Structure 1
Amino acid sequence: MRARRVIVMMWYDGGWGWGWGGWFVMAVIMVFFWAMVIAGFVALVHYLTSARHGHQPGQPPSPGEPGSGSRRAEDLLAERFARGEIDEDEYKRRLALLREHR
């Protein structure tokens, strides 16, 4: 019987390779890296387009800011007075009431 010669090509890594576990770890790290890059980009876009980023001058204050409720009430009262919906006596009475409960 004749013996067959089988030539097998083997990868030689010189003992420094990580093997299959290394490939898996590198794939996980790559996915984590790109997930962080995308999440950072989304967070940046959300921060820049958010209404809570700070209001521009002339805008009414956000509802959570101190004193914003009474200022808004006074502004509405002044608008009603300017439109003629209430007279001067009514305006002064309601304004005093609002400022009293501040």
Structure 2
Amino acid sequence: MAKDDAQHQLREALNLELRRGAVILAVLSQLTTEHYGYSLKRRLNEKGFTIDEGTLYPLMRRLETQGLLASSWRIEDGRPRRYYQLSDAGVRIFEELRTDWKHLADTMGGLLR
């Protein structure tokens, strides 16, 4: 039983590594239109990509610091919300990463046959 648990833990750790690379691209892909944090989380979940708020919010702040996102504060329904969208640099990087991802997916598809 311990061997099965160890293999399960290893598989979970490897799966987490795979997801880490995809998280940035998933977030960028949905910020071609404006979203606040919770609306982005909900949108990703609707598309089948679950993400914890503890991962999403720090990632959005980091991407903004890197110049890939622009944000603005607005009050809606009496609550302040910070809206994020791709900056001009973010649009360019997203397009490049999307092309890289498609190439990688094609390559991996060939390897996994």
Shared fold (TM-score, shorter chain, > 0.5)? no
- TM-score normalized with structure 2 length: 0.25
**What is the TM-score when the length of structure 1 is the normalising length?**
0.27
Specify which structure has the higher proportion of strand. Answer: 2
- Higher gyration radius (CA): 1
Structure number with higher relative contact order (C-alpha < 8 Å, ≥ 6 residues apart): 2
